[in-house]
Structure 1
Amino acid sequence: MQDQFEWPEPEHEADEAILRNVRKHGCHITGIADADPPFAFSIGLFLNYGHPELIIFGQNAGNAQAIINLIRDRVAAGHKFVDGDICNEMLEDGYKLGFWQVPFGAYPAYLGTAIWFYWKSRLKFPCLQVVWQDVNRRFPWEADCSAAVKKDQPLLKNIVS
């Protein structure tokens, strides 16, 4: 992957931080706290590990970063998550995470900085949405899932083509 990649030119200090984090930590996490719902996404997983980038909705910045970093650590160890996977080994108390492919049509609205990062190389990077369960261990696509959890997690695969 890296042999096809051309690093973007940083225009701001924030861009330099992204490049530094991707090199040092394997990815950078961009949080959009003022969105409704808030969300965060990774930049660099595809470059460094050949793994889809990640986006997660409805978590505060600390939780979103912790979840993405847990997944990054698994990916760095060689695990690959794909569309439809359910993982019950990362969160406490038996809570699970689901992984859904993000359609390319959603990228401009949610993944602008990642588009900037990969644009110079013209790499079509994949992205997975990380979906979490409500307190009753139901995913937003399941019957009786909390309305608040459904509101906090727009399922991009269902709403954007």
Structure 2
Amino acid sequence: MRYEQTGCRCVMCHDYGDRSERDPAEVNTVSQVQAHGWSVLMVPEDDHGPGWAYTIGLWHSYRIPELAMFGLDVEVLRTCLNDIGRRAVAGQSVEAGQTLDGVIERWPLQLRDVDLRWCRAFFARAIAFYRRPPIPFLQVLWPDRNGRLTWDADSEAVVRVRQPQLWLPPALHPKGVWTQDL
């Protein structure tokens, strides 16, 4: 599945009628995108599983894929995503397979394409903002204490449990907290 690169239909570029009845979260997102170029939506950890965060607006403002990160404290995730967003806007490439250094001290991060079939499950606010799926997303992955990532057979369980493998099609994802509602 690929995303379209033409015809922005987002809530900022298209008139969808009465704006006075907009959802307060949508109003906040639009305000953040207008002021900063993107917003970071945070989903805190709860009894169902780890928290995650993702950007909304990088694609709209800069044609940079949206970013998503899972499994750490949401404030840490927000800081990381904003740092990567600023780097990308300043000209540093962000693409699947890339390793990013210096975002989290001592730990390189890895970028992977998100299989677009995951967007509805995890990025509903982005879909509402853009008014259509699919939207290009990159997952930002963090390593265990030994620098091993989730696909490494020797990685600590924490990196596999707290981070989904969104580059896999949902039907091939290992069963667990990330697939329980699918």
CA RMSD of aligned residues (A): 2.0
Structure 1 position 72, deviation (Å): 0.8
Measured after TM superposition, the shift of residue 5 of structure 1 is: 4.5
**Aligned match of 1:31 in 42, 51, 67?**
42
Paired with 1:158 and 1:3, the residues of 2 have a C-alpha distance of 28
Identify the residue that residue 136 of structure 1 maps to in structure 2: 146
Given that 1:5 and 1:47 are in contact with CA atoms closer than 8 Å, whether structure 2 keeps it comes out as: no
Deviation for aligned residue 1:2: 9.7
The answer as to 2:45 corresponding to 1:41 is no
CA deviation map 1:13-53 (0-9, x unaligned): 22111000011111111111135121111000101111100
Partner of 2:90: 77
Which stretch of structure 1 is more off in the superposition, 110-119 or 30-39?
A: 30-39
TM-score, normalised with respect to structure 1: 0.89
State whether structure 2 residue 158 is matched by structure 1 residue 148.
yes
Q: For each residue in 1:32-84, what CA deviation from the matched residue of structure 2 results, as whole angstroms up to 9, or x when unmatched?
A: 11351211110001011111001111011110000001101101102221111
Structure 1 gap ranges (5+)? none
Deviation at 1:4, TM superposition (A): 3.3
Kept in 1, the 8 Å contact 2:116–2:135? The answer is: no
Q: Distance in 1 between matches of 2:56 and 2:38?
A: 5
After TM superposition, where is structure 1 displaced by more than 3 Å over at least 4 residues in a row? Answer: 1-6
Q: Is contact 2:96-2:138 (8 Å) kept?
A: yes
Unaligned runs of at least 5 residues, structure 2: 13-18, 172-182
Q: Does structure 2 retain, via aligned residues, the 8 Å contact 1:58–1:153?
A: yes
Which of 11, 32, 36 is residue 21 of structure 1 equivalent to?
A: 32
**How far, CA to CA, are the matches of 1:19 and 1:153 in structure 2?**
28
Structure with greater Cα Rg? 2
Please state whether the residue corresponding to 2:167 is helix, strand or coil: helix
In structure 2, C-alpha distance between the alignment counterparts of 1:2 and 1:78, rounded to whole Å? 22
Matches within 5 A, 1:57-136: 57-93=70-106, 95-119=107-131, 122=132, 124-136=134-146
The one-letter amino acid of 2:149's match is F
Alpha-carbon distance in 1 for matches of 2:138, 2:155: 21
**Whole-Å separation in 2 of the counterparts to 1:61 and 1:91:** 14
Between 1:6-15 and 1:56-65, the stretch displaced more is 6-15
Using the aligned pairs only, state the percent identity: 30
When normalised by structure 2's length, the TM-score is 0.79
